[in-house]
Amino acid sequence: MTVRRIMTAEEIRRAVIRVSHEIVEKHAGTDRLALVGIQRRGVPIARRLADAILEHENTTLPVGALDITFYRDDLSMLAQQPVVKGTDLPFDVNGSTVVLVDDVLFTGRTIRAAMDALMEFGRPDAIRLAVLVDRGHRELPIRADHVGKNVPTSREERVRVRIEEVDGEDAVDIDRAPAPMGSTVEVP
């Protein structure tokens, strides 16, 4: 197995700044805009996006945290219950435009669960999706509105995002297992 770095700390920083501009541009401002990180690495990324937006728009956006554990479609398939980390949405979801933030977009099942979880709190005007890495291989009709980096991967590979607030450093690596014969690489 080989490990390949696909984003350095500096690249992550620039991607976050670019995405923060895209979010404000797409929404044409910051009115009733909120960022919601998906536990756990989505949360610090959402907070960084908010910091970047504060810098160039001079507005503090509400930042929430969403735990999707209870909404997973594979709970009955797991050998152990995942640890629940909690949800905190410090704004009224009704009428807001909520940007979900996560580290990796893969099958899309996490995002499906996150949308279900969010809807329990109210009826947002719109839900958008920002991710640091899109690695392809969707199993549901879901796409990201804002992507830090598109990374072609094969299914067997593992994308590891490390975020300083959680892991002590910023980096995105791919653990590249030798691709089996006949496996397909998907370009997101």
Partner 1 sequence: MNAAADPALFAPDDAADPNEPDRTLAANAAPAGRWTHQHLLDVDVLTTDDLDLIMQTTATMAQVLTRPIPKVPALRGWGVTILFYEASTRTRVSFEVAAKNLSADVVNIAAASSSVSKGESLIDTIRTVEALGARMLVLRHATSGAPYLAAEHFSGSVLNGGDGWHAHPTQALLDLYTLRTRLPGGIVAGRKVVILGDVMHSRVARSNLWSLTAAGADVWLCGPATLLRGFDAWAAAGVAGSRRFTVTSDLPAALRDADVVMALRIQRERMASGLLPSLREYAARFGLTRERMALARPDALVMHPGPMNEGVEIAPDVATGRQSVITEQVANGVAVRMAVLYLLAGARDSAATRESAATRESAGARDSAGARDSAGARDSAGRAAAE
How far apart are CB 95 and partner 1 at their closest, in Å?
15
Q: Choose among 78, 139, 134, 133: nearest CA to 109.
A: 139
Binding site for partner 1 (CB under 8 A): 38-40, 43-44, 47, 62-65, 67-72, 74-88, 90, 102-107, 109-110, 113, 116, 120-122, 158-159, 165-167
Pairing label, strands 185-186, 153-154: antiparallel
How far apart are CB 57 and partner 1 at their closest, in Å?
18
Pairing label, strands 171-176, 158-162: antiparallel
Structural contact between residues 134 and 70, judged by C-beta atoms closer than 8 angstroms: no
How far apart are CB 166 and partner 1 at their closest, in Å?
5
> Nearer Cβ to partner 1, position 24 or 34?
34
> Nearer Cβ to partner 1, position 105 or 130?
105
Q: How far apart are CA 40 and CA 67, in angstroms?
A: 8
How far apart are CB 96 and partner 1 at their closest, in Å?
15
Strand locations in the chain (E): 2-7, 33-38, 63-66, 97-105, 126-134, 146-150, 153-154, 158-162, 171-176, 185-186
Structural contact between residues 22 and 146, judged by C-beta atoms closer than 8 angstroms: yes
> Nearer Cβ to partner 1, position 4 or 25?
4
> Nearer Cβ to partner 1, position 58 or 81?
81
> Nearer Cβ to partner 1, position 62 or 150?
62
How far apart are CB 146 and partner 1 at their closest, in Å?
17
